[in-house]
Structures are given as structure tokens and as C-alpha cells.
Amino acid sequence: MGGTLRVGFVGLGEIGKPMATRLAGRQAEAKLDLTVFDLAAAPVEELVAAGAKAAASVGALAAGSDVLCVMVNNDQQVRSVLDEALAALGDRDGGGNGLTVVIHSTVAPGTAAELQELAARRGVRLVDAPVSGGAMGAGTGELAVLVGGSDEAFAAIRPVMDVLAKKVVHAGPIGAGTRFKLARNLMHYAAFTAATEAQRLAEAAGLDLVELGEVVRHTDALTGGPGAIMYRDTAAEMEPGSFWFTTFGHLRQLAEKDLDFAIALADELGVEVPMARLARERLAPGLGFPEEQE
């Protein structure tokens, strides 16, 4: 894409502000021209100090942007931003042609497709592109961005995403980015829940919870944590004797043994560990081992 790409950014919160700050700091090398908007004055002032311009409204921002990034809190706010942006497009030559709206907020599974339909009526492209990696990843440009949308829309936003993220995934058509993020976060928060069980068990056993957390972070950095099992390209049942059947067979033996011991310890200490019991029941079939017949 030749020339300078005009980028608008709405929503300068915990993750949005470091994302926008990264864009601001790389405008020259990436051939971007960044303008921002937020209802709060302070983060806008910080971005202006970092080299961005400030817009008076969402509408003004949309009217002067080629790519409009939206990182607000929820579906209602996303819809409000899009409504205001689309209402302002009469100020643009050729209507909305050329504008691509990027929804970085994590929205409901069906929201992106609904918003794409609204945008398309005004000649505007729209993608859902939620991010993973938190504020730290946003600040360092090491986010993963998960994009759902057409090939044309993906190509239009790619120069911006390459500044924001170390890993950019075109997950599929509109909505695929959101579904990708929800699958990732299901694991994230289920693992958090399991961590709280481990903390309760450790506390009841008289152990240091801070040290436990340090050990978990240390060993997860070495083993990959839950992602260490995620190499198969299917969740179907495994064929007995196959590579993964054999490899996961060793994992299953260790896991079931250790889960049995942990559950026995929890019973001895009177600690409720429903996630551990469910893991003991569901890990093997979840990995792809055939369900055992009664």
C-alpha cells in the first residue's frame, strides 16, 4: 500500500493506550498517521505528547481515517462507536469507500457479523480482531491479533496489525477472530479456576502460595503450560498405535496418577476440588482417547 495510511484509534484504556502508544512511536517507519479519541482527556494528552493527533469526536476520526481501530469495553460501546462513525461518513469523498473498521474489543459471537452488515451498507469494511497478550504485550508489540474478515479487509489492516502484534492470524471470515479469542480465553480462565483449587489445596497443606505461583510460572515457561498439548490439527479420537496415541499415553498415565494423589490429599484435608475431579474424568477423552466402555 503506497503513501501514508491514516489510522484512527478509539479507546485508550488499559490495553488500548499501550497499543495506540506503540503506533504513535512507529508512525514514520510504518508510514502511518495516527489520530486518537477517548472520552477521558488524560490518555489523549499522553498520546498527543507521544506524537499522535487528537480528534474532536468519533465521527471526525472516522471521516479522516483509512483504518479505524476500536478498543472499548463492551458490545454496547462498540455499537455506539460504529453508529457515530457511520453517521459521519457523509463528510468523506465517496462515502465510506476505503475505510476499514477494526473491532479489537472482545464481543459476543454474533456481534461482528451484525456490525459488518451495518458497515457494508455504507461502503465500509469491518473486521473483528480481538487481541491476546494483555497490556504488557500491547506495550511491546508482542500481542497476538486474531482477525476475522475478508481477504481484502485483512490486507487493508495488515500494515497496522504488523506494528501492534508479533503474531497476526487471519482466522477466517467475519466472526472467526472472536470465536478464536473465546476458545483461547475459555482455556485461560478455566486454568485460572484450576489454579485457585491448587492454591486452596496448597494452603490447607501448609505450603507457601507465593512460592507455588513462582514454581508454576517457572515450569510453565519451560513446558509451555496447557499449550504444550495443542499440536494436533483435530480433536477427533486418536487411532490406537498412532504417534499421538503413544505420546499422550505417557502423559495420561502421569496425569491420572498425580490427579488421583492430589484428589486423595484434598479429601484428607477437606478441600473441595471439583475442577480436579472433572479433569480426572475428562482429560483422557479430551486428549482423544476412546471412551472406555462400561
Q: Which residues are catalytic?
A: 181
Q: How far is residue 69 from each of residues 11, 128, 170, 198, 279, measured CA to CA in Å?
A: 9, 10, 16, 39, 39
d(CA 33, CA 142): 21
Q: Nearest 5 degrees, angle CA 21-CA 127-CA 152? A: 105
How far, rounded to the nearest angstrom, does the alpha carbon of residue 136 sit from its chain's CA centroid?
Answer: 13
d(CA 173, CA 176): 6
E strands along 73-148, which residues? 100-103, 125-128, 131-132, 143-148
Kindly report the backbone phi and psi dihedral angles of residue 287, in degrees, each rounded to the nearest multiple of 5, phi listed first: -70, -25
What single DSSP character describes residue 88? T
d(CA 276, CA 285): 15
Q: Strand 125-128 vs strand 32-37: parallel, antiparallel, or unpaired?
A: unpaired
Half-sphere exposure of 131 (CA within 13 A, CB side): 28
Closest CA to 161 of 22, 17, 11, 15: 22
At which residue does the C-alpha cell 459488518 appear? 116
The three grid cell numbers given for residue 138, joined into one nine-digit string: 500491547
At which residue does the C-alpha cell 479430551 appear? 286
d(CA 59, CA 47): 19
